[in-house]
Amino acid sequence: MQQPFDRAAEDLGNSIHLEHVNVTVPDQRLATLFYVTGLGLTRDPYLMVSDSNMWVNVGRSQFHLPSGHAQVLRGHTALVISGRAALLDRLASVARKLDGTAFAFREHNDYVEATCPWGNRVRCYEPDAARFGRITLGIPYVEFDVPIGTAKGICDFYPAIMGMQAEFRNGNGALARVKVGKDQYLQFRETDSPQADYDGHHVQIYITNFSGPYRHLSERGLISQEDNQYQYRFRDIVDPGDGRHLFTVEHEVRSATHPMYLRPLVNRDPAQTNRTYAQGHDQWAWAMGPDQYDQR
């Protein structure tokens, strides 16, 4: 029988979802102004609702923003968020209140880059099914700046140790691109810019083969924290061939049996206001409808 489909195109590998990016922030009010008011995202209404932590929903993913000394991801987080003009208006509306911080925003050809009050960079793209899949709101990738000569080893680490698909690219700088979910990636791009010291920020992923990577990491002494039955952590990425240290960023690794796996998240429509309220439009449709996707 003739095979009309590329079945390998639907393979995910061991990682099935990138759920959150975690950076600590010194001021929950300023974080609210940037992530909720400026970017137009939604504070989780159910969990972490005091003044010591804030979870911010981005489609099916989140930012986690516990209180503490400012952490700055060495690279940037990408968002898909529809409505560039409205985004620019929201960011402009918080500029005065964020004056004196690292806050900034700038338009580029295909994205808007916004910088949080402490220096974390967020690149905001319009929805593009061919590039990011069928999302109108979400985190398609997190990109880390890594030292020259490390991307190939990082690309080898994830399949060998974590069972995750990865590819090596050498275009605009050497790049390791690791698949961590449907249309979601961790990217590691080589740069000769000076590297800041690692400050403890982390990303969280769900994997299906939970014990295999744990065994491989344990054999190399790489498990950094034992959280509970459903979760462990590691920080150091090493060359699987010679054990050479390549890069450090904490990975919070959860099993697909974790009680919070694919917990439904509330995403508000930031266009809704008390003055222009329209019933039935409170929720943001984070995925494209069939007409949008197929352009019929």
Q: Does residue 229 carry a pLDDT above 70? A: yes
Strand pairing class (137-138; 121-125):
unpaired
Query: What is residue 165's predicted lDDT score, i.e. its pLDDT?
Result: 97
Q: Could you tell me which residue, 276 or 101, shows the higher pLDDT?
A: 101
Q: Where are the alpha helices (DSSP H) in 95-242?
A: 129-132, 151-157, 211-219
Q: Does residue 6 carry a pLDDT above 60? A: yes
Q: Does residue 292 carry a pLDDT above 70? A: no
Query: What is residue 296's predicted lDDT score, i.e. its pLDDT?
Result: 44
Query: What is residue 293's predicted lDDT score, i.e. its pLDDT?
Result: 58
Q: What is the pLDDT confidence band of residue 171, given thresholds at 50, 70 and 90?
A: confident
Query: What is residue 173's predicted lDDT score, i.e. its pLDDT?
Result: 83
Distance CA(117)–CA(30), nearest Å, equals: 7
Nearby residues of 208 by Cβ (< 8 Å), 6 or more positions away = 14, 16, 256
Query: What is residue 63's predicted lDDT score, i.e. its pLDDT?
Result: 98
Q: Does residue 119 carry a pLDDT above 60? A: yes
Cα dihedral angle (49, 23, 175, 246), rounded to 10 degrees?
-130
Query: What is residue 7's predicted lDDT score, i.e. its pLDDT?
Result: 85
Distance CA(261)–CA(184), nearest Å, equals: 16
Q: 30, 34, 44, 18: which is closest to 268 by C-alpha?
A: 44
Q: pTM of this prediction?
A: 0.95
Q: Does residue 1 carry a pLDDT above 80? A: no
Q: What is the pLDDT confidence band of residue 294, given thresholds at 50, 70 and 90?
A: low
Q: Could you tell me which residue, 32 or 11, shows the higher pLDDT?
A: 32
Strand pairing class (245-255; 202-207):
parallel
Query: What is residue 295's predicted lDDT score, i.e. its pLDDT?
Result: 55
pLDDT digits (tens, 9 = 90+) for 67-117: 999 999 999 999 999 999 999 999 999 999 999 999 999 999 999 999 999
pLDDT digits (tens, 9 = 90+) for 127-136: 999 999 999 9
Q: 23, 14, 44: which is closest to 249 by C-alpha?
A: 23
Query: What is residue 11's predicted lDDT score, i.e. its pLDDT?
Result: 84
Q: Where are the alpha helices (DSSP H) in 42-116?
A: 84-94
- Which amino acid, one-letter code, is at 4? P
Q: What is the pLDDT confidence band of residue 289, given thresholds at 50, 70 and 90?
A: confident
Span 252-264, average pLDDT: 97
Span 187-211, average pLDDT: 96
Show the tokens assigned to 208: 């299906």
Query: What distances in angstroms separate CA 53 from CA 66, 127, 268, one per listed residue?
Result: 4, 29, 20
